[in-house]
């Protein structure tokens, strides 16, 4: 069963030290300077900082600016950049957050696309794989709640199942044995 989206989707953004920024007042000026310099690193840091600010203030303008900043950072990031999956995941999560506030179907479509790309770039065994599966499942489930498309529901369940099994596989063998002892149906 998939729980309520508001409590499931991870809004964990890669916390990065924001160089030279103690406050985001005037953040549009900083973003304009970063865009002028075509600094995908600075744009990404600014986008993450804006998301964190949105989480504190619930100001939709901060969220809108974060989405456009993260989108621009992804556009400017070289295709083979080692942390591209993280950037796409953060963009997807910010778009999902905006969809939850506005109901704009374009946001959820773009969120799912970014999260799918992030998942494709995440190698098997990567520590963020389970979180990315969960986020994609939650986004697809959010779309299902608005469209009623049963294929979305099936996909969301599949993502959540993969995430649960992946999370379960990270538990040590001793923990696995104790879990099975208390719930033998897991072996079926």
77 exposure class (CB count in 10 Å sphere: 0-12, 13-18, 19+)? middle
Per-residue pLDDT averaged across 142-169, rounded? 89
Domain ranges of the chain: 5-187
Alpha helix (H) residue ranges in 3-149: 5-8, 27-36, 40-57, 60-76, 84-102, 105-121, 129-147
Domain 5-187 -> CATH class = mainly alpha
State the pLDDT confidence band at 167, using cuts at 50, 70 and 90: confident
CA–CA dist 175, 2 (Å, integer): 24
81-95, 118-132, 160-174, range with the lowest pLDDT: 160-174
List the structure tokens of 118: 């992030």
The CA–CA distances, whole Å, from 48 to 91, 104, 164 equal 9, 21, 27
Contact (CB, 8 A) for 50 and 62: yes
**What average pLDDT is seen over the chain?**
79
Q: What confidence score (pLDDT) does residue 22 get?
A: 39
* Residue 2 confidence (pLDDT) above 80: no
How many other C-beta atoms can be found within 10 angstroms of the C-beta atom of residue 106? 11
pTM of the model: 0.72
3-12, 27-36, 76-85, 93-102, range with the lowest pLDDT: 3-12
């Amino acid at each position: 069963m998939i729980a309520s989206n508001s409590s499931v989707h991870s809004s964990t953004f890669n916390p990065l030290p924001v160089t030279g920024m103690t406050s985001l007042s005037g953040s549009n000026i900083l973003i304009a300077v970063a865009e002028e310099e075509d600094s995908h690193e600075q744009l990404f840091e600014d986008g993450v900082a804006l998301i964190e600010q949105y989480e504190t203030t619930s100001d939709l303008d901060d969220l809108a600016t974060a989405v456009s900043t993260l989108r621009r950072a992804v556009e400017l990031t070289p295709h083979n950049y080692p942390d591209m999956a993280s950037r796409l995941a953060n963009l997807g999560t910010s778009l999902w957050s905006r969809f939850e506030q506005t109901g704009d179907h374009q946001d959820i479509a773009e969120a799912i696309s970014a999260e799918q790309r992030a998942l494709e770039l995440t190698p098997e065994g990567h520590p963020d794989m389970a979180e990315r599966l969960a986020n994609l499942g939650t986004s697809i489930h959010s779309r299902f709640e608005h469209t009623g498309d049963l294929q979305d529901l099936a996909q969301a369940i599949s993502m959540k199942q993969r995430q649960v099994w992946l999370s379960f596989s990270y538990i040590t063998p001793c923990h696995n044995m104790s879990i099975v002892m208390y719930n033998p149906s897991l072996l079926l």
